[in-house]
Structure 1
């Protein structure tokens, strides 16, 4: 997947946040004009049912008034860490305050946790669960991964000094992680509790450690993710009284500091890994179009906005609307389950064939779900459509609510939750699994 400079957009462009909406919108606009792509059909007449479902059944019951709607937090890792109505974040922040940590250090600790927690958040599969001993809860999927990361953090599993200084993430510690000594016990992985993408996820953790150690300008001499706040503070815009930065500065710091964690088996430009970028052959006149998603970086950027704005230096962050919806299976599954998008028959059969090949007859789920690899056009086109459709329904949902939610709020209170609800209704016997399975390497949504 290596490119030459004269045949591809620049490295800088492919790594930019603006490239995500710009490249994926080419696919969405083409399919919207033709009614189908190479992998999916598109039926926008079914969008009103999605909007009604989100507004009336998902958002309004939890946020019935305009005052309530105003309290919707932006989509971020905080809510996953506080899942099942357990205030884990508030509890640990209270401990830090009582033991004398100042607001700068509290912000760094939150970011330490969030960076690790987000980057291990690729799909865990339909069966894995984390058993939280303090509550007795068994929690799967993204929330389970979040809670697992929380206890690793609390127990000093990510710190160079677990006994004296546990609540930190250090690059040197992550670099030393192994599958048997660290990964499996910390995630409670057994033959009865298996997780998708083990090797890829472990490599991501180890690579994260290497990135933190090698980028001291951003992450400091002790290689902590939280040190990014000092790096950003030095770049604050001089024309504002309070510390103000642009979203692009946060984005650039994350992309520059973490780009080496992505597998080089993916797209490479001028010898540099591009991360979550893919070829797509949907448009006949542009069969080698490159589309960018940077989903985990976007998820991380969304998650860091809350601590950056509310702790430490209390940054004001401009241009947050540049971020797109997240192209992952909950948001994308919402549109698939409502029939807005559907796999074309030959593509569906190809996916079902792969499912039958990789699963034994007794492993096949009650609902036979098509399976594709991350680079397959069926996955890449689905993700492009997801981003475009989230932008498409935002004004329609706001009109229905009579209130202007931001995209990050719509994802948090509507599409992500709604995708999970409709999945559970349609596929309860596989724990509300997605309508399309990803042959996960542990580094993609």
Structure 2
């Protein structure tokens, strides 16, 4: 194995995310970046905004803040959809292990379709008149499809996700299920369809992790066998997801000597760190895998085998447009003029419905640097927020009650028509 291949494989580890984004954040503290200018005097504004949002919703009950995960999105609008499903299954005497499997089925599917939906798409929840967009809309799509049996090949049990159904999923089904029309376009429709089909193939080809029937929920049996007294360290879950799902990502992502790195991208800013080898320029994020890890921890801990999971702090903040939009909208970072110009030109070229918002592709240095800064600033503001609250929130709690929600709210204040991010991702529906 060559040294580059060894380095590439290390980039797939959860520890690599913070290890490789931290030096970029150090450059930010020196205002020595390629794509953004940094004004640290604005950090206090972020801390104030976030703590105000947390206090508004959780004053004197910080201990009730849940960790960040897909569960909250599935309950968008305050409807306890997940709890209602669990109550239904228990009323039908479904075994606790099977309830755990069903939750993992739902959460894996829901997270993996949760890439940016764009500014225009809306979804009307089935059986209601409630309208959702973006991440919450995609969450409601997923639970509607799950409840309707669209993901199960078991005629006696709609509440499953089956590899065979995903492999054979077709575009007309996607269009119907996601309520896509010319007037209601979904960003990255083709990429999302390929991701679903690839997920089905990955489930089929990784029997050790997902069982002979290729079901996400069988992950809990794998973890049960690999753990000691149903206790394990986070990297066991992480490595199972990385190994089991690596093949779902689109072709053309960053590779080193045949090793596919998924959500990891080269960044020119690394030259300021004295980096010369290509593999050392790559910044790993693995956002959807991290989002999946965060989302699976609660059902894995509380249902089925009720695992004890240690070393959860290895995970970072999520490098996506709500957390990242917060630091941009509150002017901690600002695009350098030449890159702002490039982004506005791309928005014009692609006939964006928001031409005043700069657009970039996922591999553009602007996006890669922005995502690295997002991870760094979340770590940076956590102790500042905790000091102001006089409470010890975890990073997942900060994201859930503070940064993600704050990013959404400041976007709605500044861009009420779209409520979208300050920088648009021109994407295939498999990033963010």
TM-score, length-normalised on structure 2? 0.97
Q: 1:10 aligns with which of 7, 12, 24?
A: 7
Residue 32 (structure 1) aligns with: 29
Q: Does 1:73 align with 2:66?
A: yes
Report the secondary structure of 1:61's partner residue. Answer: helix
Count of residue correspondences:
427
Deviation at 1:384, TM superposition (A): 0.2
Deviation at 1:69, TM superposition (A): 0.6
Deviation at 1:83, TM superposition (A): 0.5
On the 8 A contact 1:298/1:326 being kept in 2, the answer is yes
Q: Does 1:203 align with 2:203?
A: no
On the 8 A contact 1:175/1:206 being kept in 2, the answer is yes
Deviation at 1:36, TM superposition (A): 3.2
Deviation at 1:135, TM superposition (A): 2.7
Residue 319 (structure 1) aligns with: 311
After TM superposition, list the pairs within 5 Å mapping 1:221-260 onto structure 2.
221-237=212-228, 242-260=229-247
Residue 157 (structure 1) aligns with: 150
Residue 357 (structure 1) aligns with: 349
Residue 115 (structure 1) aligns with: 108
Q: Does 1:59 align with 2:46?
A: no
Counterpart CA distance in 2 for 1:344 and 1:7 is 33
Residue 414 (structure 1) aligns with: 402
Counterpart CA distance in 2 for 1:200 and 1:344 is 30
On the 8 A contact 1:30/1:283 being kept in 2, the answer is no
Deviation at 1:351, TM superposition (A): 0.4
Q: Does 1:125 align with 2:118?
A: yes
Residue 127 (structure 2) aligns with: 134
On the 8 A contact 2:4/2:257 being kept in 1, the answer is no
On the 8 A contact 1:356/1:364 being kept in 2, the answer is no
Residue 40 (structure 2) aligns with: 44
Counterpart CA distance in 2 for 1:95 and 1:258 is 30
On the 8 A contact 1:5/1:269 being kept in 2, the answer is no
On the 8 A contact 2:9/2:259 being kept in 1, the answer is no
Counterpart CA distance in 2 for 1:346 and 1:286 is 24
Residue 348 (structure 1) aligns with: 340
Call closer, same or farther: CA 1:219–1:8 in 2, change over 3 Å: closer
Q: Does 1:270 align with 2:257?
A: yes
CA deviations on 1:362-414 (whole Å, 9 max, x unpaired) are x643x600000000000000000000000000000000000000000000000
Counterpart CA distance in 2 for 1:43 and 1:319 is 33
Report the secondary structure of 1:428's partner residue. Answer: coil
Q: 1:295 aligns with which of 287, 293, 304?
A: 287
Counterpart CA distance in 1 for 2:414 and 2:32 is 24
Residue 286 (structure 1) aligns with: 275
Unaligned runs of 5+ in 2: none
Counterpart CA distance in 1 for 2:171 and 2:128 is 27
CA deviations on 1:169-197 (whole Å, 9 max, x unpaired) are 011110001112x2111111111111000
Structure 1 segments (4+ residues) deviating >6 Å: none
Deviation at 1:9, TM superposition (A): 5.1
Report the secondary structure of 1:336's partner residue. Answer: helix
Report the secondary structure of 1:250's partner residue. Answer: helix
Counterpart CA distance in 2 for 1:10 and 1:282 is 19
Counterpart CA distance in 1 for 2:353 and 2:89 is 47
Report the secondary structure of 2:251's partner residue. Answer: coil
Q: 2:19 aligns with which of 22, 33, 37?
A: 22
Call closer, same or farther: CA 1:419–1:155 in 2, change over 3 Å: same
Counterpart CA distance in 2 for 1:401 and 1:110 is 33
Counterpart CA distance in 2 for 1:122 and 1:59 is 25
Q: Does 1:304 align with 2:296?
A: yes
Counterpart CA distance in 1 for 2:36 and 2:364 is 13
TM-score, length-normalised on structure 1? 0.94
Q: Does 1:220 align with 2:211?
A: yes
Residue 326 (structure 2) aligns with: 334
Counterpart CA distance in 2 for 1:269 and 1:96 is 46
Report the secondary structure of 1:275's partner residue. Answer: coil
Q: Does 1:425 align with 2:395?
A: no
Q: 1:188 aligns with which of 179, 185, 208?
A: 179
CA deviations on 1:193-230 (whole Å, 9 max, x unpaired) are 11000111111000000000000000001111010001
On the 8 A contact 2:126/2:144 being kept in 1, the answer is no
